[in-house]
Amino acid sequence: MLTRSQVSTCQSIVNIFETGAVLGEYGNVTLIEGDTGHLTFGRSQTTLGSGNLADLLQSYCSNAGARFAAHLEPWLPRVRARDSALDTQLRLHNLLRATADDPVMRDTQDSFFDSVYWDVAVRSAGELGIQTALGVAVVYDSTVHGSWQRIRKLTTQTKGDPAALGEKGWVAAYVATRRNWLATNPRKDLRPTVYRMDALQRLIEQNRWGLELPLVVRGLEISLLTLSGTPPGCYDGPQPGTRVLSVQAPLARGLDVRLVQLGLSNGGADIKADGIFGQHSAECVKDYQRANGRPATGSADVALVATLAT
């Protein structure tokens, strides 16, 4: 049985692979050319094409405390239909980014990804007698990334089963087999993902089977300190109406900025709701002010923030 810190470390390794952050980026929205999953979202990058994005959003909207449920619900039919036109719907993308600021969404993602990926990976590892933390991390990575069953079968057929090779020998053989499969894959979008196997191979070479902390994976530190931080790109404040928003040094960041950007996006502005008030945000505010007969200052006073951040 893995300890709580080992579970967190396994998940953080895959978070790094998926979104480049130890705790994962809950508001990450990605579209990779050629990816059959189409629009992807969240800490473990659930996809529109698989239908999992619809399940995740439905679970979130079913929670009475979901802050953005009313905004998301009109999009749900198209998400359920796996409408690939959503790949380019900036308004939806910005809304998804904004949901990361809601603790309900972060908790929903954690529960959803545990159910869909982690619990499945733990059962699969147990069936093969894989008990080490690093071994489970390898299974978890392939469960999230895809084709675990296929490469497991290929490894056993060509290298031997875990009973013959031992757990560590089989896991090492699996990583090597999967790396070759990724590197030579006919799908161009999969070939660059060999970095996942390279990182896991490095941990094997370092004999870090227990995933003892601290670890460095792809240049990022996994430690008790980094595991206890706030996920990147998530804002719990300031609340809208508590300050004027304008370009300043350092740039204003936070929940109020994100909600203003979301309001501008809903009005048709070509803006990314990243929660950072820079020059482009100011220009979009000016456009809104001009269109509504206001002085084009580029600064959002408390009244304007209240109007946009609905």
Average pLDDT over residues 169-175: 98
Q: What confidence tens digit (pLDDT) does each residue in 5-55 have?
A: 999 999 999 999 999 999 999 999 998 777 778 999 999 889 999 999 999
Q: Give the pLDDT confidence of 54-111 residue by residue, as tens digits.
A: 999 999 999 999 999 999 999 999 999 999 999 999 999 999 999 999 999 999 999 9
Confidence of residue 282 (pLDDT cuts 50, 70, 90): very high
Angle among Cα 213, 179, 170 to the nearest 5 degrees reads: 65
Distances in Å between the Cα of 310 and the Cα atoms of 169, 231, 239, 262 are: 56, 24, 12, 9
Are 181 and 154 in contact by the 8 Å Cβ rule? The answer is: yes
User: How many angstroms separate the CA atoms of 13 and 30, rounded?
Assistant: 19
* pLDDT at 251 > cutoff 80: yes
Which DSSP category does 215 fall into? E
pLDDT number for residue 35: 75
The topology under which CATH files domain 252-308 is Muramoyl-pentapeptide Carboxypeptidase; domain 1 (1.10.101)
Domains of the chain by residue range: 4-227, 252-308
Contact 260, 278 (CB under 8 A): no
Residue 117 in tokens? 């990926």
191-213, pLDDT tens digit by residue?
999 999 999 999 999 999 999 99
- Report field, pTM of the whole predicted structure over 0.75: yes
Q: What's the mean per-residue pLDDT of the chain?
A: 95
**Spatial contact of 79 and 53, defined as CB atoms under 8 Å apart:** yes
Q: Give the pLDDT band of residue 1 (cuts 50, 70, 90).
A: confident
Residue 140: both structure tokens together: 């978890």
